C-alpha cells in the first residue's frame, strides 16, 4: 500500500507541467489564441446552417430585384456577425454574398468531414428540387460553395466527399441526388483518384442528373481508361439530357488523337534576335531565311498518334446512336463524328438526311431541326468531297453503295458550302434553324441614322429601317417547313410577342409578318432582359431545367446598353442566359449596331463591359455568331 504522503507528492509532480507556464513562446501563444475545436465548429457550422435556412425561404436576395445595385445588409442581420465570425461593426462586403463568403471561409478552415459535407450542401444549390428565383442567384451560391469545397485538404474530409458522390451519406429525402451531383463535379474538377471508379459507375444511375454529372466530370478527367464506360453509355443512353454530355466527354477523352494543324510561322518564330530555343540560327531544322526577309515556311504537321481500338468503337457507337433522341443529341454526336472522321459513319449520316425526307412531322414537332440538317450535310461534303444537295439523300445513298470502297475520307477542312442547304441570312448570319425567333430592339435610339464606320449615313435610312429590311429578307428565305416568331422590346416592363406561339412559314403568315414589321415604331429605353427572359421561358433558375421552349435558333438585334428593367448588369445577363440555355442548346446569334460617336460607345456606370462585348460574349457562349455593324 502506498503511504498517503508519497501519493500526495506523486499527484503534485504529475500536475506540475500544467501548473507551470511553458518556456516555449510559440506554444504559449497557441494555448492562449487557439479556440477549442468544439467552439469553432459550433460557430462556423451553425452560422452556415442559419444562413442557408434563411436563404431557402426565398427572402434573401443576392441579386437586385430590379436595376443593378445589390441589396446591402446591416451588421445586425449578418449571420457572420451574429456568430462571432466577423467584427461587430459589420462586413467588408455588406451583402448576403459577402456574408456567405466569410462563413464559408471559416467552415473550410475546419477541414473536417462534417465541414466538407456542409460545403457540399452549398455546392449543390440549384441542383436540388427547390424553387429558385433569379434574385436568389443559385448559380452564384453554388460557385461559392465549390470554391471553398476545393480547398479541403484532409484526406478523411476528401474521402467523405467521395462517399457522398457514391450516394453513401445520410441526408433528408430529396437532397441525396443533389449532393451526389455536387460530389461528382468535385471529383472531376480536382481529378481525384476515386473519380476513376465512382464516375463510370454513375453512368448507369437511375436519375438522369447523376448520369449527366458523371459524364461531364469524366470529360474534365479526360482519362482514356474510362473510355469503355463512355462507349457503353453511347450504346445505350436514351436521354436527350444525358447523351450530349456523354458525346462531349468522349471527345475530350480522345482529344489527343485529333489531327493537329501545322503551327503558323509567327507562332514558331523566335523572339527578337531570331534565335531558336537551342541558341543557333535556324535550329535543327536547317538555316534561317536570308536577308531577303522571306517568310519562314511553317513546319509540317506532326504525324498523327495511332488511334486505339477504343476510339474506333466510340465512333461506331456514336454513329449508331444517331436518331435515338432529338436534334440536340444528334448535333453533339455529329460533332464527335467530325472530330474523328471514319468511313463507317457515312451511311449513318446519310440516314439523318433520309429522316428529314421521310419524317417531315418531326421537323414540325421540334424533334428534328434544320441546324442538324445543315451540320450533317456540311460534314458529308467535307468527308467525301461529293457535291450533292441535302434534299437528295437517294443520290447520297447511291454514291455510298457504288463508291464506298473508293471513298477516302478527308480529315477536317473547310467545306465548299455547296448544295442547296445554303440558307438565307440575317445581317450576314445564316438562318439554318427551323424554329426561329427574332428579338428586336425598339428603343428610341433605333430612330438614329444608320451610319457606317466612317460616320456616313447608310442609304439615308435609320437603324430601324435597316433592321426591318433584314427581318423581311430573312423571313422570305425561311424554308417552307420552318416556323418563326418575333419579340420586340423597348423601355416597358414587358416585351411584345407578335404571336403566342411559333407560326408556320406559309405565304399567309409571311404576309402578316411583313405588315407587322412595317408598322413597328421605336421609342423609349432598352429593357433587353425582359425580352430574353420571355424568349428563353425562364421561370426558375434550376440546374437541369430545359426545353420550356422548343426553338432552335434565336437572333437578337440591339443598338445600345441595357438601361431599364429587372436586370441591367451585362455580366448578370450573360450568366442567366448561360444557365438557362445550358441544356436547351439554343443557338443564339447577336447583332449590335454600334454608334460612330466614341462618347456613346462608353459603358454606362453600372456596366463592367461594353454592350458590344456583352453581345459578342452572348453569341460565343451559346454557339452563335456575332455581327457588329
| pLDDT at residue number 420 | 42
| pLDDT at residue number 77 | 94
Q: Which residues of the chain have pLDDT under 50?
A: 1-2, 4-39, 261-296, 414-421, 546-547
Asked if 412 contacts 608 with a C-beta cutoff of 8 angstroms, the reply is no
| pLDDT at residue number 458 | 58
CA distance 376 to 346: 10
Asked if 531 contacts 439 with a C-beta cutoff of 8 angstroms, the reply is yes
Q: What ranges do the domains of the chain cover?
A: 37-192, 425-628
| pLDDT at residue number 451 | 73
| pLDDT at residue number 1 | 44
Rounded to two decimals, the pTM is: 0.82
pLDDT digits (tens, 9 = 90+) for 343-373: 999 999 999 999 999 999 999 888 999 999 9
Asked if 300 contacts 263 with a C-beta cutoff of 8 angstroms, the reply is no
| pLDDT at residue number 13 | 41
pLDDT digits (tens, 9 = 90+) for 291-326: 334 444 555 555 556 889 999 999 999 999 999 999
> Residue 377 pairs with which residues in a beta bridge?
none
Rg (CA), the chain: 30
Fold observed for domain 425-628: Rossmann fold (3.40.50)
- Write the CA distances from 93 to 68, 72, 98, 101, 165, integer angstroms: 16, 9, 5, 9, 33
> What angle, 0 to 180 degrees and rounded to 10, lies between the N-to-C axes of helices 195-202 and 155-166?
10
Residue pointed to by grid coordinates 442581420: 77
What percent of the chain stands above pLDDT 70? 79
CA distance 442 to 525: 8
Comparing C-alpha atoms, which of 629, 621, 606, 610 is closest to residue 66? 606
Residues 6+ apart with CB under 8 A from 554: 436, 437, 438, 439, 535, 586, 587, 588, 589, 624
| pLDDT at residue number 596 | 59
| pLDDT at residue number 6 | 43
Comparing C-alpha atoms, which of 150, 152, 85 is closest to residue 114? 152
Amino acid at each position: 500500500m502506498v503511504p498517503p504522503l508519497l501519493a500526495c507528492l506523486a499527484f503534485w509532480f504529475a500536475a506540475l507541467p500544467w501548473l507551470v507556464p511553458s518556456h516555449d513562446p510559440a506554444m504559449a501563444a497557441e494555448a492562449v489564441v487557439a479556440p477549442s475545436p468544439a467552439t469553432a465548429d459550433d460557430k462556423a457550422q451553425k452560422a452556415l446552417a442559419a444562413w442557408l435556412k434563411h436563404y431557402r425561404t426565398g427572402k434573401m436576395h443576392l441579386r437586385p430585384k430590379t436595376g443593378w445595385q445589390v441589396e446591402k445588409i446591416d451588421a445586425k442581420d449578418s449571420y457572420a456577425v451574429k456568430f462571432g465570425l466577423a467584427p461587430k461593426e459589420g462586413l467588408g462586403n455588406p451583402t448576403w454574398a459577402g456574408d456567405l463568403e466569410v462563413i464559408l471561409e471559416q467552415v473550410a478552415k475546419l477541414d473536417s468531414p462534417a465541414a466538407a459535407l456542409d460545403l457540399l450542401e452549398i455546392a449543390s444549390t440549384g441542383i436540388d428540387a427547390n424553387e429558385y428565383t433569379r434574385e436568389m442567384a443559385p448559380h452564384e451560391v453554388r460557385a461559392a460553395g465549390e470554391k471553398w469545397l476545393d480547398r479541403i485538404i484532409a484526406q478523411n474530409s476528401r474521402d467523405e466527399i467521395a462517399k457522398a458522390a457514391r450516394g453513401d451519406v445520410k441526408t433528408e429525402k430529396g437532397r441525396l441526388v443533389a449532393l451526389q451531383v455536387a460530389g461528382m463535379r468535385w471529383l472531376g474538377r480536382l481529378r481525384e483518384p476515386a473519380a476513376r471508379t465512382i464516375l463510370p459507375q454513375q453512368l448507369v444511375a437511375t436519375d438522369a442528373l447523376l448520369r449527366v454529372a458523371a459524364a461531364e466530370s469524366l470529360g474534365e478527367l479526360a482519362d482514356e481508361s474510362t473510355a469503355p464506360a463512355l462507349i457503353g453509355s453511347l450504346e445505350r443512353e436514351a436521354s436527350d439530357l444525358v447523351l450530349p454530355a456523354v458525346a462531349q466527354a468522349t471527345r475530350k477523352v480522345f482529344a489527343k488523337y485529333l489531327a493537329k494543324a501545322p503551327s503558323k510561322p509567327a507562332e514558331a518564330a523566335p523572339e527578337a534576335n531570331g534565335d531558336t530555343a537551342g541558341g543557333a540560327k535556324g535550329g535543327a531544322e536547317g538555316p534561317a531565311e536570308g536577308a531577303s526577309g522571306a517568310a519562314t515556311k511553317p513546319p509540317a504537321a506532326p504525324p498523327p498518334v495511332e488511334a486505339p481500338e477504343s476510339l474506333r468503337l466510340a465512333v461506331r457507337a456514336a454513329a449508331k446512336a444517331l436518331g435515338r433522341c432529338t436534334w440536340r443529341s444528334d448535333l453533339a454526336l455529329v460533332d464527335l463524328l467530325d472530330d474523328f472522321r471514319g468511313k463507317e459513319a457515312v451511311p449513318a449520316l446519310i440516314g439523318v438526311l433520309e429522316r428529314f425526307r421521310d419524317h417531315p412531322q418531326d421537323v414540325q414537332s421540334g424533334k428534328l431541326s434544320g441546324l442538324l440538317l445543315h451540320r450533317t450535310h456540311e460534314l458529308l461534303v467535307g468527308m467525301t468531297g461529293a457535291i450533292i444537295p441535302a434534299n437528295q439523300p437517294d443520290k447520297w445513298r447511291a454514291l455510298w453503295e457504288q463508291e464506298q470502297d473508293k471513298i477516302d475520307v478527308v480529315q477536317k477542312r473547310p467545306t465548299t458550302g455547296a448544295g442547296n442547304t445554303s440558307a438565307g441570312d440575317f445581317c450576314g448570319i445564316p438562318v439554318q434553324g427551323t424554329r426561329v425567333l427574332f428579338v428586336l430592339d425598339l428603343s428610341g435610339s433605333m430612330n438614329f441614322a444608320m451610319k457606317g464606320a466612317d460616320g456616313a449615313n447608310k442609304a439615308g435610312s435609320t437603324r430601324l429601317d435597316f433592321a426591318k429590311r433584314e427581318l423581311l429578307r430573312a423571313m422570305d428565305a425561311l424554308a417552307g417547313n420552318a416556323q418563326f416568331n418575333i419579340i420586340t422590346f423597348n423601355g416597358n416592363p414587358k416585351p411584345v410577342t407578335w404571336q403566342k406561339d411559333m407560326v408556320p412559314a406559309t405565304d399567309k403568315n409571311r404576309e402578316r409578318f411583313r405588315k407587322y414589321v412595317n408598322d413597328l415604331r421605336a421609342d423609349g429605353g432598352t429593357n433587353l432582359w425582359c425580352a430574353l427572359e420571355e424568349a428563353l421561358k425562364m421561370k426558375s433558375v434550376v440546374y437541369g431545367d430545359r426545353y420550356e421552349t422548343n426553338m432552335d435558333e434565336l437572333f437578337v438585334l440591339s443598338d445600345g446598353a441595357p438601361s431599364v428593367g429587372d436586370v441591367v448588369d451585362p455580366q448578370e445577363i450573360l450568366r442567366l442566359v448561360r444557365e438557362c440555355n445550358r441544356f436547351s442548346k439554343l443557338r443564339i446569334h447577336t447583332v449590335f449596331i454600334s454608334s460612330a460617336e466614341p462618347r456613346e460607345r462608353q459603358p454606362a456606370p453600372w456596366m463592367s463591359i461594353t454592350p458590344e462585348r456583352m453581345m459578342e460574349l452572348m453569341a460565343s457562349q451559346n454557339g452563335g455568331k456575332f455581327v457588329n455593324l
